[in-house]
């Protein structure tokens, strides 16, 4: 069997197995409808609520992208400071670790008190969940540069900024993109969790409304849209990665 066929067929087989068991259980009413609704009902609601769910998805996407882009800027900047400014690392790195171990969901209500209900708390929760993986992986990439290469660049008269732009940053790009693929999914989670706290639109708002009314069908619809959104954004990061560091993918296929 060709490799492409295996990549397509193998993931589909578990999906069809789960769907078959789900349909079989729903037809025999093994679970109450409010616990596990029939896939037919979910598909019907999915098709009839496309305009409404598309609008809520756009709201969530906007929050995700704002939080994600902010996480990229802050995460890479902090990684650079920690890697190359020793006093900054000693003074602030332990506090960054402390911020990371704080439960972000618990910070949500506090953010609402500080900045009010609206767009900003969702972006901040999305940012808080996404920035730490970016910072840590970028830092790992910057610190993995061999010392001999650094000494060679200095001996050739390369200035620190030029050395960073043309050598350190390209060397760290595989680490950065690996962190972006993790961070984009965290950013989606952060935006949805932020919408749990206080919102009147977005996929998180739909989940809260469906939970309050025990509308399990609508809950599954919202989960499908959220999962699809995460997969699309993840695929977008992968596509950008292939454009920027195609040489790394080629080496990985050749030697991996």
Containing domain of residue 206, as a range? Answer: 38-255
- Residue 18 in any domain: the answer is no
Minimal CA–CA distance to 126: which of 17, 230, 2? Answer: 230
- The helix/strand/coil state of 70 is helix
DSSP per position, 193-215: HHHHHS-SSSHHHHHHHHHHTT-
CA distances from 91 to 77, 82, 88, 136, 138 (A): 16, 10, 5, 16, 19
- Residue 170 in any domain: the answer is yes
- Residue 19 in any domain: the answer is no
Per residue in 123-167, pLDDT (tens digit) is: 988 998 999 999 999 988 888 776 656 655 665 666 666 666 667
Q: Residue 52 has what pLDDT?
A: 93
Q: Residue 160 has what pLDDT?
A: 61
Contact 176, 138 (CB under 8 A): yes
Residue 33 has pLDDT above 50, yes or no: yes
| CATH number of the domain that residue 49 is part of | 1.10.3720.10
Question: What kind and span of H or E run contains 247?
Answer: helix 246-255
| pTM score, whole prediction | 0.84
- Residue 13 in any domain: the answer is no
Q: CA quadruple 108, 112, 117, 120: dihedral positive or negative?
A: negative
- Residue 16 in any domain: the answer is no
Question: How many domains, in total, are found in the chain?
Answer: 1
Residue 236 has pLDDT above 90, yes or no: yes
- Residue 32 in any domain: the answer is no
Greatest mean pLDDT among 107-111, 214-218, 226-230 lies in 226-230
Cα–Cα distance, 245 to 224 (Å, whole number): 31
- Residue 12 in any domain: the answer is no
More confident residue, 256 or 233: 233
> Could you tell me what percent of the chain has a pLDDT over 90?
34
Q: What is the band of 250 on the pLDDT scale with cuts at 50, 70, 90?
A: very low
Cα–Cα distance, 170 to 54 (Å, whole number): 37
- Residue 6 in any domain: the answer is no
Contact 126, 191 (CB under 8 A): yes
Lowest-confidence pick of 84-88, 121-125, 154-158, 178-182? 154-158
């Amino acid at each position: 069997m060709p490799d492409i066929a295996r990549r397509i067929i193998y993931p589909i087989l578990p999906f069809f197995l789960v769907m078959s068991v789900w349909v079989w259980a729903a037809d025999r009413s093994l679970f109450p409808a409010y616990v596990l609704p029939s896939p037919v009902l979910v598909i019907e609601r999915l098709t009839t609520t496309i305009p409404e769910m598309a609008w809520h998805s756009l709201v969530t996407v906007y929050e995700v992208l704002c939080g994600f882009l902010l996480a990229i800027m802050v995460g890479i900047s902090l990684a650079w400071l920690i890697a190359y400014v020793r006093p900054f690392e000693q003074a602030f790195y332990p506090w960054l670790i402390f911020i990371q171990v704080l439960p972000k969901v618990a910070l949500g209500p506090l953010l609402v008190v500080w900045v009010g209900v609206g767009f900003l708390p969702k972006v901040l929760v999305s940012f808080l969940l996404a920035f730490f993986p970016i910072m840590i992986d970028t830092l790992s990439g910057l610190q993995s540069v061999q010392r001999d290469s650094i000494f060679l660049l200095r001996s050739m008269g390369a200035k620190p900024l030029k050395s960073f732009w043309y050598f350190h940053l390209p060397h760290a790009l595989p680490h950065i993109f690996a962190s972006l693929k993790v961070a984009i999914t965290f950013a989606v989670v952060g935006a949805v969790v932020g919408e749990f706290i206080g919102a009147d639109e977005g996929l998180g708002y739909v989940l809260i409304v469906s939970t309050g009314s025990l509308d399990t069908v609508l809950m599954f619809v919202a989960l499908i849209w959220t999962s699809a959104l995460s997969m699309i954004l993840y695929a977008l990061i992968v596509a950008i990665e292939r454009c920027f560091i195609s040489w790394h993918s080629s080496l990985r296929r050749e030697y991996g």
